[in-house]
Amino acid sequence: MPGAYRQLKHVLFGRPLPSERLEHERLNKKTALAVLSSDAISSVAYATDQILFVVGGAIGMMAIGYVIPISAVIVGLLVLVGLSYRQTIFAYPNGGGSYTVAKENLGVSPGLVAAAALLTDYILTVAVSISSGVAAITSAYPPLAIHTVSLCVVSIVLLTVVNLRGVRESGAAFSIPTYAFIVMMVALIVVGVYRATMGHELAFLASPLKVDPTSARHGAAIMSPLTGFALFYLLLRGFAEGCSAMTGTEAISNGIQAFKQPAQRNAATTLTWMVTILAAFFLGVSYLATHYAVMPTTDQTVISLLGRHIFGTGFFYYALQYSTFAVLVLAANTAFADFPRLAGILANDRFMPRQFSARGDRLAFSNGIVTLALLAIVLVIAFHGNTARLVPLYAIGVFVCFTLSQAGMVIHWMRSRERGWRRRAALNGLGAVATGIVSVVQIVTKFTEGGWIVCLIIPAIIWVLVAIHRHYTQFADDVKFTGHSPILPLHHTVVVPVNGITKATAGALVYATTISDEVVAVYIEVDKRLTDELQRTWEEWDIGVPLVVLPSPLRSILRPLVEYVDNLRMVMPGELVTVVVPEIVPKKWWEHFLHNKTALYIRTAFMFKPNVVVVAVPYLLGHAYRLRDMINHDDETDVVATA
Amino acid sequence: MPGAYRQLKHVLFGRPLPSERLEHERLNKKTALAVLSSDAISSVAYATDQILFVVGGAIGMMAIGYVIPISAVIVGLLVLVGLSYRQTIFAYPNGGGSYTVAKENLGVSPGLVAAAALLTDYILTVAVSISSGVAAITSAYPPLAIHTVSLCVVSIVLLTVVNLRGVRESGAAFSIPTYAFIVMMVALIVVGVYRATMGHELAFLASPLKVDPTSARHGAAIMSPLTGFALFYLLLRGFAEGCSAMTGTEAISNGIQAFKQPAQRNAATTLTWMVTILAAFFLGVSYLATHYAVMPTTDQTVISLLGRHIFGTGFFYYALQYSTFAVLVLAANTAFADFPRLAGILANDRFMPRQFSARGDRLAFSNGIVTLALLAIVLVIAFHGNTARLVPLYAIGVFVCFTLSQAGMVIHWMRSRERGWRRRAALNGLGAVATGIVSVVQIVTKFTEGGWIVCLIIPAIIWVLVAIHRHYTQFADDVKFTGHSPILPLHHTVVVPVNGITKATAGALVYATTISDEVVAVYIEVDKRLTDELQRTWEEWDIGVPLVVLPSPLRSILRPLVEYVDNLRMVMPGELVTVVVPEIVPKKWWEHFLHNKTALYIRTAFMFKPNVVVVAVPYLLGHAYRLRDMINHDDETDVVATA
């Protein structure tokens, strides 16, 4: 690695860290809540929007009447899933990710389904959270909207750099965005509800956004242009989209090891807090959206509209938008911890390339981080940073994981038969059935809206994981060594292609005679006129190495050499042949063009030949040192001694 | 080379030819005329156009009055240059190219100026001839004009393929375009002059192209808007552009060896014919252009306008245009023979990369051909295939070469002092002075029209040629070997990085013990927990190779290895160290991503270390053969024996 590149790397990513720095900071409940629940809580920034987009797209302002019922069903589901995960916390004290729970209890195949779904969802977490965070900013500053994609890409790149430096889950700094967001949301809901119930409407409420809330609320059922199954299906779609509020719920049960002792109890308490906050915020936003009859547009999010409405466009409004952006960036950041960690676990299980299991200079799983960032950037660009178009892809994988994880827990309880296993299995079973049904609803209702992409990608990922696993298993089998005896050397001929008597060829010949007693120099004759001269000087030189001349009527250097070596191995089966080639190493880049890459071509030509090894002996041009010319230099004094 | 690629190559370029097929077909005068003078004679397709473009651009139709005087001066110069080259033919029976003559008589620097000018001109010959040939076609079919650049590029690519197949200067086929063009031009001039002198004007002459020739001819001197120096300078520019007619004159004196015996006499006679034909055609076209008062446009060349005028737009007209295209393609083809040949000579003289001196599978100088084609394509694209914009760059180099070549001949005669040397030196001296003056005129008058590009490129090429020469000279010096004694082997330690006991590491260890008695296995410890297990199995294995454990707190595989090897060499100065690494060679391309390229990284890390050689022992995955597991396989039966 050249010095300048290394320096740049150190400035950007910091100096390498030794492995012992890989310790784990334990978090108290308050900090853990901030660190682990940003993904879940921040979902309120887009879930209500998404219900209104989908239902409102079909029936307009009538949609507002359905927001509270749909939200209530989702909150019910959330509580059920929360209770289920409380049980996982106590069953898997080391952290029960869906992949682990599904693999251990249901088998490898369901485990891989969970893994593929999780990988997909981590990528979508980044894409959705960042695009939604950027939407919070562009809602506050509408002229920035045309730069949406650039802002998303820049945010992802910054997150990548920060994570390559190796972010520790060091609570303090991370708590700020989450608690700021919590404070601003509480303020929004309290002030909003107070005004709504007090009928305390001020002048600015006469904005064009305002429609008569009563008629909207009551009119929905009466005036809806859809009836029967069509309406039911529409509401089901709205529900499916709103379920994006539940993404991130599993984070606490995955991260038990981050808690101070008693870890399980603390984690369970924190999970309860998180579910309570998320449920309250989600219902609160949905209530306010209904009461103030706001419809999100491509320019303005629901929270931004409510903020402008309730706070006015002043300090509190901007604080709300900035804290929304910050908590969403933090949500994206959790995927930057989770994706590489899962990729590392999969790499250790030989389902992903082993490069994903190596920690980089800064102890981060660098390859996983960069892969995640690149895929998220592709998604953001492909969907123009449009949250509303990204969310339909989201949540499908999350619910598949919920289902597999809880089904796994049912098996876990049935196997363990510990006290209360029936009750616990029943709760997890109920969770599994509910989330299973929601998974099907998700796939069916969102299929044409982009859900088909996820339905293609998850099987494709599984196929790749399996192919990689098959390769590594075969490879391990292939290289497994079961012999126990000492190693015996082979009989060994060394072939040195020469094109004249130079220091470079002399270096190669020194090396050749060092590694074997049987050395042959071969000369590829392209032009007959030069052969006699070489043969004469070769005999004069008298180094005890025979010179073989191989005519090459087609002027190829490689073909006669390959044929000669093949012949050697035919005559003496089992013979080991080494081809020693001098490799000219120029000092300046452009000098490479002035020398044939013969060493490279020869190495490639013999790559797939058994029992042939090609050695390139570097000859350094213009350097003070070079492969020591260990020849008796009777009449030569200018050779630099090697220190 | 994979099979499919090789097959494609054979279909496109033909099967490889053996070197003995490199014979030389001798040509009789008629065939030689066709082969060697296409470049010169075809110049009439653009020279008159160019005079009219430049002069007409300033003074409109008045320009027509100056075409004949300017052409007459150029023809005078052509005769002088022709006579000078006759002398070169007798002095250089092996072909006297400008580079050779200038280098031998004037020294290396003038030789390099000539070489750089020639290389530039060969590229321009292709660009100008092809764009002018395509202009002949688009003149006949004006709707094709929008495809000019594509047609040019396709023509150059076809020429490249034909030349890579190895075109021999096999006269017969090559004679057809030249003689067809000669026949059509004679017909054009004879019919045109007959009609002009007989006043035999037909109905179609009332075309919009027709202006009153008498007024145009006589009006020029009287009504020209320019006077004095401005007019003189304009005519000088016209003259400089018209000199493009003289390009290609040196071809016959370069190609004497292609003639049947007596080669020199035959070449001299052919040169006289060529000059006569070129002079007649050039004057003829200029006369007709004047008489019929044609002005070339961006759509129509002078010859196309004359053809439509004199023949009518029928069979004879199209025959004229096609033969013009054909002779111009043949002219471009001569550059495809000359550029690679000169590049080969320069490569042998170590002024160009040696790759240019190697003949390809089909005995052609493939690298030179491809380089020429690429540069010509760049020019054609940059100048939109516009002949009128390319010609100003042309001829500058040609006249520089004329001057240097003839100045060289003066020195040649002064040195030889053979019979009549004074007369001969005087003639060449006159030629040198005349072409020298024209060179200055060329540079001055065309500088702002693109001539500056050539004035930058020629010195740049010289600078590159000199830099290459310096490198090769230093290299030859660097590798020159003057020792005469037998080679002595070195003391040699082999280091084998291992990451476990596998067949791949066993293969590397077999190889290591074969090439030296001092072998050390090193294990880079990234995770302490794995070390004990390896040390235990290593001791059980008991192969007589010590295992050294190198801790790597920063998880780098390379750094501890490099430090260890550096240490070895510090302890024992002059020690040769070989690092033997197993290199996993996957069967399928995607499997490459599943294995670290450790062998490659290790090779790169040691590339610039003196006295260290890195050997990659290939381990072929999934192949029937592999580096023979030459270990006593007490308890292993599944190893494939090597045939």
pLDDT per residue as tens digits for the range B328-341: 999 998 898 889 88
pLDDT tens digits for range A280-307: 999 999 999 999 888 898 889 999 999 9
Task: State mean pLDDT over B419-445.
Answer: 91
Q: Reduced to 3 states, what is the DSSP secondary structure of residue B555?
A: coil
Give chain B positions within 8 Å (CB) of A595.
Answer: 354
CA A541 to chain B, closest CA, distance in angstroms equals 5
**Rounded Cα gap, residues B618 and B606, in angstroms:** 18
Residue B217 in this model has a pLDDT that exceeds 60: no
pLDDT of residue B641: 26
- On chain A, the residues whose CB falls within 8 A of the CB of B357 are none
Question: Could you give the 3-state DSSP secondary structure of residue A261?
Answer: coil
| Element holding A415 (H helix, E strand) | helix A396-416
From chain A, pick out residues whose CB is under 8 angstroms from the CB of B643. 573
Higher pLDDT, A166 or B22: A166
Interface test with A, best of B5, B479, B480, B552 (most A CBs within 10 A): B479
Query: Predicted confidence band at B218 (pLDDT cuts at 50, 70, 90)?
Result: very low
Q: Of A358, A475, A511, which is closest to B621 when you measure between CB atoms?
A: A475
What are residue A260's phi and psi, to 5 degrees?
Answer: -70, 155
User: Which residues touch B42 (CB under 8 Å, ≥6 apart)?
Assistant: B129, B132, B181, B248, B324, B327, B328, B330, B331
The pLDDT value given to residue B384:
92
Mean pLDDT of B110-118: 93
- Which chain A residue is nearest to residue B590, measuring alpha carbons? A468
Chain segment A528-544, per-residue pLDDT in tens? 888 888 898 888 888 88
Task: Report pLDDT digits (tens) over B402-418.
Answer: 999 999 999 999 998 88
How is residue B272 written in tokens?
């006289």
Instruction: Please report residues of A whose CB lies closer than 8 A to that of B515.
Output: 492, 514-516, 578
At residue A84, the 3 state secondary structure works out as helix
φ/ψ region of B444 (left if φ > 0, alpha if ψ in -120 to 50, else beta) reads alpha
Cβ <8 Å between A594 and B474: no
Per-residue confidence band for A204, with pLDDT thresholds at 50, 70 and 90? very low
Give yes or no for residue B178 having a pLDDT over 50. Answer: yes
- Per the structure block, which two tokens stand in for A491? 């009989």
Residue type for A471, please? H
Note the pTM of the prediction, 2 decimals.
0.73
Residue B604 pLDDT > 70:
yes
Token pair 């914009």 is found at B389
> Which residue type occupies A338?
D
Closest Cα in chain A, distance from residue B582 (Å): 11
> Cα separation of A420 and A407, whole Å?
17
Which of A16, A489, A635 is closest, CB to CB, to B483?
Answer: A635
**pLDDT value of position A205:** 38
What does the alpha-carbon distance between residue B344 and residue B108 come to, in Å, rounded to a whole number? 17
Residue A375, pLDDT above cutoff 90: yes
In degrees, rounded to 5, the angle at the alpha carbon of residue A276 between the alpha carbons of residues A270 and A280 is 150
Q: Which of A458-472, A506-520, A593-607 is predicted with the least confidence, judged by mean pLDDT?
A: A593-607
Q: Report how far residue A468's alpha carbon sits from residue B170's, in angstroms, rounded to the nearest whole number.
A: 58
Coil, helix or strand at residue A609: coil
* Residue A548 backbone zone (phi > 0: left; psi -120 to 50: alpha; other: beta): beta
Short-list A520, A512, A521, A516, CA closest to A490: A516
Between CA B641 and CA B643 the distance in angstroms is 6
Neighbours of B455 (CB within 10 A): 15
Amino acid at A580: V
Note whether B553 contacts A20, CB cutoff 8 Å.
yes
Q: Which helix (H) or strand (E) holds B449?
A: none
Phi-psi sector, B250: left (phi>0), alpha (psi -120 to 50), beta: alpha
Pick the residue with more confidence: B502 or A9? B502
Residue of B nearest to A509 (CA): B487
H/E element, B617: strand B612-620
* Interchain pair B636, A483: CB under 8 A: yes
DSSP letter (8 states) at residue B259:
B
SS3 B643: coil
Length of chain A: 643
- Mean pLDDT, residues A223-230: 70
Cα separations (Å) of A54 from A61, A288, A296, B588? 11, 18, 11, 46
Domains and CATH numbers, chain B: 26-470 (1.20.1740.10), 492-620 (3.40.50)
* Whether pLDDT at A201 is above 70: no
More confident residue, B593 or A498: A498
Which chain A residues touch B353 with a CB distance below 8 Å?
593-594
For the stretch B231-276, pLDDT in tens is 889 999 999 999 999 988 888 888 887 788 888 899 999 999 999 9
Rounding to the nearest 10 degrees, give the CA dihedral for residues A277, A278, A279, A285: 100
The fraction of chain A above a pLDDT of 90, given in percent, is 42
Query: Side chain identity at B410, as an amino acid letter?
Result: V
Residues of chain B in contact with residue A632, where contact means CB-CB under 8 angstroms, are 483, 485-486, 488
A259 three-class SS: strand
Average pLDDT, chain B: 84
**Inter-chain CB proximity B479 and A556 less than 8 Å:** no
Sign of CA pseudo-dihedral B51, B281, B294, B388: negative
In eight-state DSSP terms, residue B489 is P
**pLDDT of A219 above 90:** no
Query: SS3 for B361?
Result: coil
Distance CA(A506)–CA(B633), nearest Å, equals: 39
Mean pLDDT to the nearest integer, B518-545: 88
Q: How far is A574 from chain B (nearest CA, A)?
A: 6
CA dist., res. B422 & res. B410, Å (int): 9
Asked which of A1-5, A210-214, A573-577 is least confident by mean pLDDT, the reply is A210-214
Contact A514/B505, CB-based, under 8 Å?
no
pLDDT at A362: 64
List chain B residues with CB under 8 Å of A567. none
For residue B61, which of B206, B259, B217 has the smallest C-alpha distance? B217
Query: Tell me, what's the pLDDT at B214?
Result: 45
Name the residue facing A617 among B355, B613, B627 (closest C-beta).
B613
Of B355, B485, B515, Cβ closest to residue A631: B485
Output the pLDDT for position A558: 86
DSSP label of A204: G
Taking 70 as the threshold, does the pLDDT of residue A207 lie above it?
Answer: no
A606 has pLDDT over 70:
yes
Answer yes or no: do A555 and B19 touch at CB < 8 A: yes
B127, pLDDT greater than 60: yes
Of A326, A26, A365, residue with least CA distance to A174: A326
Task: Assess contact for B507 and A613: CB atoms under 8 A.
Answer: no
| Nearest to A92, CA basis, from A104, A80, A82 | A104
Q: What ipTM was assigned to the predicted interfaces of this complex?
A: 0.74
* Distance in angstroms (rounded) separating the CA atoms of residues A330 and B424: 90
Q: Distance between CA B81 and CA B249 in Å, rounded?
A: 8
- pLDDT of B449-480, one tens digit each? 888 999 999 999 999 999 999 998 888 888 88
Distance CA B342, CA A466 (A): 58
pLDDT mean over A450-479: 90
Task: Kindly provide the residue ranges of all beta strands, DSSP E only, lying in A414-537, ordered along the sequence.
Answer: 492-498, 518-525
Amino acid A553: pLDDT: 81
Is the Cα torsion angle B357, B362, B367, B373 positive or negative in sign? positive
Q: Taking CB atoms and an 8 Å cutoff, what residues of chain B touch A608?
A: 585, 618, 620, 623
* pLDDT at residue A335 greater than cutoff 70: yes
Tell me if B342 sits within 8 A of B122, measured CB to CB: yes
Judged against a pLDDT cut of 60, whether residue A87 lies above it is answered with yes
For residues A131 and A152, is the Cβ–Cβ distance under 8 A?
Answer: yes
Structure tokens of B311? 């023949």
Contacts across the A-B interface (CB distance below 8 Å): 263
Rounded Cα–Cα distance for residues A509 and A513 (Å) = 6
* Nearest-neighbour CA in chain B from A85: distance (Å): 33
Sheet holding A492-498, edge to edge: A547-551, A518-525, A492-498, A576-585, A612-620, B612-620, B576-585, B492-498, B518-525, B547-551
pLDDT of B361: 66
pLDDT at B598 over 70: yes
CA distance A509 to A545: 9
Q: Look at residue A640 in the predicted model and tell me its pLDDT.
A: 28
Mutate to test the interface with B, among A613, A621, A626, A635 (most CBs of B within 10 A): A613
